[in-house]
Amino acid sequence: MSKIIGIDLGTTRSAMATFKHGEPEIIENNEGERVTPSVVAFDDGERLIGRPAKNQLLTNRENTVKSIKRHMGEDYKTELEDEDYTPQEISAMILQKLKQDAEAKLGGDVTKAVITVPAHFDDTQRQATKDAGEIAGLEVERILNEPTAAALAYGLEDDVDKTILVYDFGGGTFDVTVLEIGDDVYEVQATEGINDLGGDDFDQRIVDWVLDRFADDNSIDLSTNPEAMQRIREKAEEVKKELSSRKQARMNIPFIHQEDGETYNLDYELTRSQFEDLVQDLIDRTEQPTTKALDDAGVSTGGLDEVILVGGTTRIPAVREKVADITGMEPDQSVSPDEAVALGASIQAGSISGEADDILLLDVAPLSLGVEVQGGLTETLIEENTTIPAEETKTFTTAQDNQSVVTVHVVQGEREMAADNKSLGQFNLQGIPPAPRGHPQIDVTFEIDADGILNVAAEEQQSGKEASITIQDAARLDDDEIEEMKEEAEKHAEEDEKKRELIEAKNRADMVVSQSRDQLEEHGDQIDDETVNEIEAKIEALEAAREEADNPDEDPEKIRTHIEEVQRAMQEIGRQMYGDQSGPGTGFDPSQMDPEQIKQAAENMGVDPSKVDPSNFEGADETLNMDDDDVVDADYEEVDEE
């Protein structure tokens, strides 16, 4: 049987592990290293991966690529020796080396793997990672979130129920996850993250500091010298690591530049305190996602049993201090932060192959998923931090008479307006039988599998017409977009709510106008002309208020006032048809009406008679006088579940 290994496909370095004799174990690469640099290079047609590629960054930088993971899922290509390669192809080269090295160490074929991704990777990035595995000749058994994998590595030997926070700060991404662990069940409660924050950004701060110092001292801009820049970047990474264990380090690079026959050396001392000042804002950016994950999980810092550090950036003392400050706990450092994710992935691989105890992993959707409805609003089906796999269905209806086609537009994000969220894709449900608006019943179903791949389907109940889409290019998110969506949602929450109220008021006005005109047409000959004229005047006033409305601060209330006036005027139809039997504050007294009259009155009020129980007068009275606040007009409308 082919071995299933666990792979941490990292931004700056990758690792692999196997489950052996009841324990997870790191697999060293052919260079004898426990981690492999995520670097690929071409040298006269020869493909170099890992340490050999990183070693020739300086001499062959134009044919070398690193940190390709930051472009995973993007429409991006990099050129190596006059050939263009996608992020999937470059990642596949790294995976292929890991596969070959694992086969050499394990002495057999390796054709299957569990591959980890950042918790905030979207569907596009997850699919791209699976594609990279397939290109490398691996069957990807599971896409596993990195913090969840790390939790497996730390929690394997402990059967005690506990709540843990995983703070995952790697070379290119930051994630924080809150989990409940017990009885071999690992249930994610909430996850947050930033897809463009990692150790690479810390390196860049040192690079910028050096460039500024050198320019001030020598009036020379080294940023225009590619060779000098590569040497500075390499040295910056070394200094960053050195400052994790020492109070100062030297940026010493001889012969960094030559100009007008003069040679320049670079030699600066950087203290840990100076470095912390340079990167403090980067460290502080992790606080908001961490506290939000705790809030979303309903867990106080006092409710945490453990805090786990993952990723090389957590070796920085200031980062560890920040974690302790946020959580009030000293983090667990019993497992190497560089190896925890790969070890956890191998435990999941062992569970799949039957070598380890069965483990149930319950992850969550990082962002809300929904559809666009009339007025450009987002109607959410699956909330952020919903446990996956997940399936949700909502029933919608048409907004126009005889509407035969409905467009289902799928979006992802936390904003009220669909245009402010990420468009995932859309499809048309065609062949809807002709019917008045509001009559067709259209079920829209969202289904997310364990790997986070989304499927959306729509079905019209009466005709059985169906349409569906698999969102494989879901959320073609750049590195900044997920965090930006959440920040924008918080900044504009009040503004969005006002927009929603105005749109809902307009939608409700449209419905009241349509229903009122239908009732006038059907029953106008049974009431006096004065009442007809009064109702028509109020309908026209409502239409005018709806057309003029564009101020979210004032106009929703004006529209609501006109709606109430129309509804009060419409009650006169029933009074004249059945006699004035209303009591104070009610439209009808059902106790004085027979069942047929109740149902007729319901129709006059625009209420579905099937919802009225003639034997329940109190319930009938409540139903006959209800408004339509819960109905959402749309290109299709959400049907009031009540």
Q: With residue 220 as reference, give the H or E element that holds it.
A: none
Residue of 146, 306, 379, 635 marked catalytic: 146
Residue of 3, 8, 416, 451 marked catalytic: 8
Cα 74 versus chain centre, distance: 16
Tokens for 551, please give them: 């101020």
Tokens for 199, please give them: 């150790």
Tokens for 479, please give them: 């590195």
Tokens for 316, please give them: 């920085």
Q: How many residues does the chain have?
A: 642
| Long-range contacts formed by 220-225: CB under 8 A, 24+ apart | 220/257, 220/259, 220/264, 222/256, 222/257, 225/257
d(CA 233, CA 225): 12
Residue-by-residue DSSP string for 254-267: EEEEEETTEEEEEE
In the residue annotation, 159 being an active-site residue is answered as no
Other Cβ atoms less than 10 A from the Cβ of 193: the count is 25
d(CA 206, CA 483): 24
Residue of 101, 141, 168, 621 marked catalytic: 168
Which residues sit opposite 176 in a β-bridge?
167, 192
In the residue annotation, 498 being an active-site residue is answered as no
> Looking up tokens 């493909």, which residue turns up?
47
**Pairing of β 387-388 and β 377-382:** unpaired
With beta carbons less than 8 A apart as the criterion, state whether 33 and 101 touch. no
Other Cβ atoms less than 10 A from the Cβ of 107: the count is 7
Residue of 66, 69, 394, 506 marked catalytic: 69
Cα 212 versus chain centre, distance: 37
Measured at the alpha carbon of residue 63, what is the angle toward residues 60 and 68, in degrees to the nearest 5?
Answer: 120
In the residue annotation, 192 being an active-site residue is answered as no
Q: With residue 47 as reference, give the H or E element that holds it.
A: strand 46-49
Tokens for 123, please give them: 């569907």
**8-state DSSP, 524:** G
Amino acid at position 488, single letter: E
In the residue annotation, 496 being an active-site residue is answered as no
Q: With residue 391 as reference, give the H or E element that holds it.
A: strand 390-398
d(CA 292, CA 165): 12
> Active-site residue numbers?
8, 69, 146, 168
